[in-house]
Homo-oligomer: A and B are copies of this chain.
Amino acid sequence: MQRYFIDQPFEGNNEVRLDGDIFHHISRVMRMKINDEFYIVFSDEKAGIAKIVDISNEEIIASIVKWEDTNKELPVKVAIVSGLPKGDKLELIIQKGTELGAYQFVPFIADRSIVKWDSKKEKKKVERWQKIALEAAEQAHRQHMPKVYAPCPFKHLLDISQSFDHKLVAFEESAKLGETSNFVKAINNFNHGDSVLIVFGPEGGLSIEEVQQMEESGFQICGLGPRILRTETAPLYALSAISYQLELMR
């Protein structure tokens, strides 16, 4: 069944008016008719099945017939912070990371980021990333649509990190040295509803200076096992491990 995120919270009214893009998709692309059903997700993460009760040329009126009672969200809010990688790798991180439960995506300009960030194209690029997150959230049956931010400088990243309950950095060198338990220890300290920020380097990895500054800002350095993971694979490992520990093992 189709799933749509709408831009408003549930306001106590079981009848919802839908226009614009969602109206277009439901009536023109999916060609739904009266009595057809779809999932609707409000911006406050309430989700349910809606049935179409009326269709005009401009809008649909749908009525919630059943609320979704299973929680689809990770018990912690994970921000995936990626050193801006080359090509379309960030798109893969956003698509797969959304399926795996990430709460938000914060790219940053790392010392070893090769891409020259073109701020003129920023708006379009971020819109595209946000659309990828939206589609993946619909497909994965999420209740939260992850927000994707425009790439920020490293300094700014250190500032925003201060508001998170847990700050981790995945560092390949630490993995090479056989460090295996920090990530487990960190996850075991997560409490329900905590915010978690995890930093991943770009293709060339993080610079020593970046890692040092993060350590000084209270980040925990974690290895993710003995194999060298690509920049777009490491976040998927981290999210899967967090889900396994907090959703399957509990």
Contacts and interface: CB of A to CB of B under 8 A. Distances in A.
Interface stretch (A13-21, A56-64, A95-103, A194-202): A95-103
Contact of A228 (B139, B225, B240, B241): B139
Interface in A206-236: 224-230, 233, 236
Q: How many copies does the complex hold?
A: 2
Interface centre among A184, A236, A237, A244 (most CB of B within 10 A): A244
A178 interface: yes
Contact of A184 (B183, B237, B249): B249
Interface size range of chain A in the complex: 35 or more
A245 B187 CA distance: 12
Interface of A: 70-72, 96, 99-101, 139-142, 178, 180-181, 183-184, 224-230, 233, 236-237, 240-241, 243-245, 247-250
17 contacts: A71-B226, A72-B226, A96-B236, A100-B237, A101-B227, A141-B228, A180-B247, A180-B248, A180-B250, A183-B244, A183-B248, A184-B248, A224-B248, A225-B243, A225-B247, A236-B237, A244-B245
